[in-house]
Structure 1
Amino acid sequence: MAKQLLFYEKPTAVNPAKHGKTSVNTAGNFSFTAEVNSVPIAAAEFAHCAAEYPIVFAGDAAAPVPSVILGLDGSKNAFIGKKGAWLGTYVPAYIRRYPFVLSHQDEAGSQTLHVDEEAACLNTTGKGEAMFTEDGKPSEYLEGVLKFQQEYQAQHLRTQAYAKRLAELELLAPMQANYTTPTGEKRTLQGFFSVDREKLKALGDEAVMQMFRNDELECTYLHLASQRNFAALANRVAKAT
């Protein structure tokens, strides 16, 4: 699981026997994302993310993953400030759900809540939010975490359907972002996809109306509009260097 989850190191099933004395104290510290330059996003986040991040499609054209670009300098996140402060206005849900994550569905269709046991925000000294009550029952905080994770998973499934439609309609094409470093060096960020405007214009009326009714057309134009954020991201990286 961990290899597919970016900054998660040791996801472990949550249970009162193991985590009965564990508390979570995030305190607005996002340092765990410092070495991540992109994260997946859900379709419901496009409007928030398009205002400040470039939205692209990662993976391959057959199974694209909507993602936001957070940095241009290797794996460095340009939106992390001092003491792990988030420098952007909106924090993607993929990041906000940390250190928790739901496992994939088993054969019975159920999922298990996991927590990254290597997360710096975990402690057994009572700082922050307790995961369990003294009698071993999930705390109100943990119940809220589980609800958020379930809502996130539901949005993830909707987003997969949107990405699948883009793939089936063959709307994605490889793209690259060109930028200049503070020293004047020309560089290129590539390895992701964007919706091809001409192919989008060539869609038949039935496909367009279907995307419109599912709010997928709105997501697509938000994605295209967000590409102007590459310039602002390059400036942010330059100022931080």
Structure 2
Amino acid sequence: MSDTPSAAPKEPKLEGSLYMFREPELLSKEKHSDLGISRPESPFAFAANIRAVPLVVTEIAAAQKHYPIIFTDEQNPMPLAVVGLIDDVNLFVNDKGEWDQNVYIPGYVRRYPFALAGDQTSNRMAMIVDSAYEGIKKGSDLPFFDGDKLSAATQQAMDYCTNYERDRQVTVNFAKQLATYNIVSNQVAQFTPQGSDQPQPFAQYNGVEEQKLSALPEEKFLALRQANILPILYAQLMSMGNWRLLMERRVRRFNLKGEEMLKPVTKQ
């Protein structure tokens, strides 16, 4: 397949949806030849109202230093980095639309506004761009095309997306394997508000149940280690200490006190 969808009797169709993409389109010279990307005034505004970001297994070691890491569900435990609590506010994106410089930015966010998706007219992958992204404009710093070919910047983005898709497939296989061990369960995160001596629940999530992991028969535990899954599970368990840090980040963001800490607020 060429770098971009080529002319054909039938125009390729994009079906389904992509998380955080508002107007996903197949990137093509016909539609986007005069467009490109410039850094918008609020570069991460597109991710300002989310609570979680998909992760691939290769980035869990870095992400666990900053975010609670959870799984989508018990049957298909795909990893997520939690970035918001109670409200639809990403606590790592400030009011200027900038991501906190001191924390790891998940690859799913860094590849935006690009992605790869299955071309419905073939079995191959096609380049996707979110045409609603504020940074896409005419006369941009980084045009999508250089003549009839992808520009160097777009080719670099496509290479990144290709590598990310490869890691995503590895993560899909990881989730399938992990599900067979029956060690992921629904859990509750708790926080003790200032002035109270009783912890209160503020989030339900799916995570590794440490007791079940420890109770695995030796051969299953060894199989996890041999499949390089064990370090990922320990990283997920270690990330649970970030729940408190995330709640403290929310308290500072909205200047909350006492019982206010566990109640929804209006975004400021």
Q: Same-fold call, TM > 0.5? A: yes
- 3-state SS of the aligned residue for 1:64? coil
| Alignment pair present for 1:121 and 2:131 | no
Q: Report which stretch shifted further, 88-97 or 23-32.
A: 23-32
Equivalent pair of 1:6/1:36 in contact (CA under 8 Å)? no
Equivalent pair of 2:35/2:144 in contact (CA under 8 Å)? yes
Aligned partner of 2:229 in structure 1 is 216
Structure 1: give runs of 5+ residues left out of the alignment. none
Q: In 2 relative to 1, CA 34–3 (structure 1 residues): closer, same or farther, beyond 3 Å?
A: farther
Q: Report which stretch shifted further, 69-78 or 100-109.
A: 100-109
Q: How many residues align?
A: 237
Q: Report which stretch shifted further, 143-152 or 210-219.
A: 210-219
Choose the corresponding residue for 2:77, options 44, 60, 64. 64
Aligned partner of 1:48 in structure 2 is 62
Choose the corresponding residue for 1:178, options 176, 190, 194. 190
Following TM superposition, by how much is the alpha carbon of 1:106 offset from its aligned partner in structure 2, in angstroms? Answer: 5.0
Aligned partner of 2:154 in structure 1 is 142
AA in 1 matched with 2:183: L
AA in 2 matched with 1:167: A
Structure number with larger C-alpha Rg:
2
Aligned partner of 1:157 in structure 2 is 169
Following TM superposition, by how much is the alpha carbon of 1:123 offset from its aligned partner in structure 2, in angstroms? Answer: 0.5
Following TM superposition, by how much is the alpha carbon of 1:39 offset from its aligned partner in structure 2, in angstroms? Answer: 0.9
AA in 2 matched with 1:85: E
Aligned partner of 1:130 in structure 2 is 143
Instruction: Give CA-to-partner distance per residue, 1:29-66, whole Å, 9 cap, x none.
Output: 111111101011000011110101000002x3111220
Q: In 2 relative to 1, CA 84–206 (structure 1 residues): closer, same or farther, beyond 3 Å?
A: same
Aligned identity (percent) is: 26
- 3-state SS of the aligned residue for 1:82? coil
Choose the corresponding residue for 1:24, options 27, 37, 40. 37
Q: Report which stretch shifted further, 155-164 or 21-30.
A: 21-30
TM-score by length of 2: 0.82
CA RMSD of aligned residues (A): 2.2
Following TM superposition, by how much is the alpha carbon of 1:189 offset from its aligned partner in structure 2, in angstroms? Answer: 1.1
Following TM superposition, by how much is the alpha carbon of 1:198 offset from its aligned partner in structure 2, in angstroms? Answer: 1.4
Instruction: Give CA-to-partner distance per residue, 1:59-95, whole Å, 9 cap, x none.
Output: x311122001001132111001132111152100011
| Alignment pair present for 1:91 and 2:105 | yes
Instruction: Give CA-to-partner distance per residue, 1:139-168, whole Å, 9 cap, x none.
Output: 011111111111101101111111111211
Aligned partner of 1:229 in structure 2 is 242
TM-score by length of 1: 0.91
Q: Distance in 1 between matches of 2:194 and 2:106?
A: 28
Q: Distance in 1 between matches of 2:194 and 2:28?
A: 49
Moved over 6 A (4+): 181-185
Structure 2: give runs of 5+ residues left out of the alignment. 1-13, 255-268
